[in-house]
Chain A
Amino acid sequence: MKHFVVLNDKSVMVDGVPMQLENQGMAMLNDVYRSKIGDYPKFFKMDALCKVGFVASELLLKAETDGEISQRKAHGTSSRAVLLFNRSGSLNADTKYQATIQEADNFFPSPAIFVYTLPNIVTGEIAIRNLYYGETNFIVLDCMDLHTIAEQIANAFQDSETESMLTGWVDCYDENHFEARMLIINRNEDILNELNKIKQ
């Protein structure tokens, strides 16, 4: 079965099945972390975009391996790439960082925020967590254009090392407006057909 995760600031679905959740926004993601993940304290230091991507990837990979962490780790190595897309880049973290340097008499640049002022930190976090040594990339697009995304995924598979790819759309405007649509695509699959599964 092909697994996929679709979540936004109000709901989380794994393989089309909605999770029962009490909160919305970041509080909802924190709840999901505590109830379904819970073994990665660094989660709370992540910016909102990273939290969205991290939670989506964790739920997806748990579904892929029936929740067995050891099994999931076995999927590591350089054969899996992480390729994500969005529209907002790291705008949320950029804005927060700017606020720390906006006023000359209150100029205290935050190192903890600064480290998240690039969207590809998300792909790095996922790769580190899962021991993926393959290509990681984060591409910013005007909109979720599946044809462009499919083209980029196809290009990434030109690398002879890559056998599978954790990919999808991970966008975060702010703590109350975000979405992720994530799946794993294997070499030789019909990429556009697979991407259509996360479109709805």
Chain B
Amino acid sequence: MEELILKLKQEIIEALNLEDVKPEDIDENASLFGDGLGLDSIDALELIVLMEKNYGIKLSDPNQGKEIFKSVAVMADYISKNRTK
């Protein structure tokens, strides 16, 4: 799981152009939106694309994102249980 969390942090930084942010700067238990990384709605859409492109996970219900994108740790857990690639 540690390996997946690190990989996910790197993918998020790259996909969302989080310049000047390093993987170690991201607390895997901190909120991705709001006070955490301060991501916005476009970032949420980009995360949905990332999940499908890199892990073969298609979120059919956008409301699922609210739960799955709570933190990097929650995302990693969901990916490990649902990934198809």
Please report A residues at the B interface, Cβ cutoff 8 Å: 30, 41, 44-45, 108-112, 115
| A46 nearest CB across to chain B (Å) | 9
B17 touches A112 (CB 8 A): yes
Of B19, B46, B49, B53, the residue contacting A30 (CB under 8 A) is B19
Given contacts A41-B38, A115-B42, contact A110 B49 (CB under 8 A): yes
Interface status of B43 (Cβ within 8 A of chain A): yes
B17 touches A109 (CB 8 A): no
A111 touches B45 (CB 8 A): yes
B16 touches A45 (CB 8 A): yes
Complex CA distance for A164 and B54, rounded to whole angstroms: 49
Of A41, A45, A111, the residue contacting B49 (CB under 8 A) is A111
A108 touches B18 (CB 8 A): no
Chain A residues in 8 Å Cβ range of B52: 108
B42 touches A109 (CB 8 A): no
Chain B residues in 8 Å Cβ range of A115: 42
Q: Would you give the 0/1 interface string for B29-56, flagging 1 where the beta carbon is closer than 8 Å to chain A?
A: 0000000001000110110010011000
Query: In terms of DSSP, what is the predominant structure of the interface of chain B?
Result: helix
Q: Once A and B bind, how many residue pairs between them come within 8 Å at the CB atom?
A: 28
Q: Could you give 28 example pairs across A and B, Cβ below 8 Å?
A: A30-B19, A41-B19, A41-B38, A44-B17, A44-B18, A44-B19, A44-B20, A45-B16, A45-B17, A45-B42, A108-B49, A108-B52, A108-B53, A109-B49, A110-B46, A110-B49, A111-B42, A111-B45, A111-B46, A111-B49, A112-B15, A112-B16, A112-B17, A112-B42, A112-B43, A112-B45, A112-B46, A115-B42
The interface size bin for chain B is 10 to 19
- Of all A-B residue pairs in the complex, the 7 with the closest CB atoms, nearest first, are A111-B45, A44-B19, A108-B53, A112-B46, A44-B17, A45-B17, A108-B49
Complex CA distance for A41 and B18, rounded to whole angstroms: 8
Chain A residues in 8 Å Cβ range of B45: 111-112
| A106 nearest CB across to chain B (Å) | 8
Chain A residues in 8 Å Cβ range of B49: 108-111
Chain A residues in 8 Å Cβ range of B18: 44
Nearest-CB residue, chain A, relative to B45: A111
Complex CA distance for A110 and B18, rounded to whole angstroms: 16
Complex CA distance for A188 and B19, rounded to whole angstroms: 43
Chain B residues in 8 Å Cβ range of A112: 15-17, 42-43, 45-46
Nearest-CB residue, chain A, relative to B18: A44
Nearest-CB residue, chain B, relative to A112: B46
| A70 nearest CB across to chain B (Å) | 23
Complex CA distance for A158 and B18, rounded to whole angstroms: 42
Complex CA distance for A68 and B62, rounded to whole angstroms: 43
